[in-house]
Amino acid sequence: MAAEVHALDFVLVVLLLWLGWRALASADLFKAVVQFIVFGLLVSLAWVRLGAPDVALAEAAIGAGLAGALLLDTLARLGRKGATDEVRPLGLTPARAGIALASLGLVILLVASVLALPESWPGLTAPALQQLGASGVTNPVTATLLNYRGYDTLLEIGVLLLAVLGVWILDAEAALPAAPADPMLSLLLRVLLPLTVAAAGYLLWVGAHAPGGAFQGAALLAAGGVLWHLARPLSLPASRPVRAAVVLGFAVFLGVGVATAVFGGGFLTFPPAYAGAVILLIEAAAMVSIAVIMVALFVGRPAQGTK
Amino acid sequence: MTGEDVRSALSLTLIGAGIAFFLAGSIGVLRLPDLLSRLHALTKADNLGLGLVVLGLTLQADDAFQVVRLLLVWLLVLFASSVACYLVAHSATHANGEPTPTVGPDNPSMDKRDGR
Amino acid sequence: MPEWMTVALWIAAAVVLATIALGLVRVERGPSNGDRMLAAQLLGTGAVAVLLLLARAADAPALLDVALVLALLASVAGAVFVRRLGVQPVQRGQDRTAEDGP
Amino acid sequence: MSLGLLYGLAGIALVAMGLYAALAARHVLRRLLGLNVLGSGVFMMLVALASRTTEIAGRPDPVPHAMVLTGIVVAVSATALALALLRRMHRHDDSARLPEDRLP
Please indicate, yes or no, if residue A303 is contained in any of the structural domains.
Answer: yes
Mutate to test the interface with A, among C66, C68, C85 (most CBs of A within 10 A): C66
In the predicted model, what is the mean pLDDT of residues D33-51?
94
pLDDT at A48 over 50: yes
pLDDT at D22 over 80: yes
pLDDT at A305 over 60: no
Domain that includes residue A192, residue range = 125-307
| Closest residue of chain D to C101, computed from CA coordinates | D103
Tell me the C-alpha distance between A136 and A281, whole Å: 12
Please indicate, yes or no, if residue A295 is contained in any of the structural domains.
Answer: yes
What's the angle, vertex CA D71, arms to CA D69 and CA D72, rounded to 5? 70
Number of domains in chain A: 2
In the predicted model, what is the mean pLDDT of residues A228-254?
85
Which domains, from first to last, does chain D contain? 3-95 (1.10.287.3510)
pLDDT at A232 over 70: yes
The model's pTM is: 0.90
Return the closest-CA partner of residue A147 out of A283, A53, A252, A249. A283
For residue A302, what pLDDT band results from cuts at 50, 70 and 90? low
3 state DSSP class of A302: strand
For residue B104, what pLDDT band results from cuts at 50, 70 and 90? very low
pLDDT at B111 over 50: no
Residues 12-51 of C with CB under 8 A from B: 12, 15-16, 19-20, 22-23, 25-26, 31-32, 34-35, 37-39, 41-42, 45-46, 48-49
Exposure string over A188-204, b if 16+ CB within 10 A, otherwise e: bbeebbebbeebbeebb
How would you write chain C as a 3-class SS string?
Answer: CCHHHHHHHHHHHHHHHHHHHHHHHHHHHCCCHHHHHHHHHHHHHHHHHHHHHHHHHCCCCHHHHHHHHHHHCCCHHHHHHHHHCCCCCCCCCHHHCCCCCC
In the predicted model, what is the mean pLDDT of residues C19-37?
85
In the predicted model, what is the mean pLDDT of residues A117-134?
81
Please indicate, yes or no, if residue A113 is contained in any of the structural domains.
Answer: no
3 state DSSP class of A173: strand
pLDDT at C93 over 70: no
Please indicate, yes or no, if residue A164 is contained in any of the structural domains.
Answer: yes
pLDDT at A7 over 90: no
In a shared domain, residues A192 and A307: yes
Tell me the C-alpha distance between C97 and A29, whole Å: 10
What pLDDT score does A24 carry?
A: 92
Which residues in chain B are contacts of C84 at CB distance < 8 A?
none
Please indicate, yes or no, if residue A20 is contained in any of the structural domains.
Answer: yes
* Residue ranges covered by each domain of chain B: 3-100
Tell me the C-alpha distance between A169 and A130, whole Å: 46
- Average model confidence (pLDDT) for chain B? 77
In a shared domain, residues A246 and A307: yes
The percentage of residues in chain A with a pLDDT greater than 70, rounded to a whole number, is: 95
| Closest residue of chain A to D103, computed from CA coordinates | A86
Q: In chain D, how long is the greatest CA-to-CA distance?
A: 60
In a shared domain, residues A160 and A293: yes
Identify which has the larger pLDDT, A20 or D95.
A20
What pLDDT score does B1 carry?
A: 61
B77 vs C12, C71, C89: nearest CB: C71
Summarised one tens digit per residue, pLDDT across range A63-121 is 888 899 999 999 988 887 777 777 788 878 888 888 999 999 999 999 999 888 887 77
For residue D60, what pLDDT band results from cuts at 50, 70 and 90? confident
Which residues, 6+ apart, have CB-to-CB distance to C100 below 8 Å?
A: A81, A84, A86, D103
In a shared domain, residues A189 and A306: yes
What pLDDT score does B106 carry?
A: 42
3 state DSSP class of A209: coil
In a shared domain, residues A133 and A260: yes
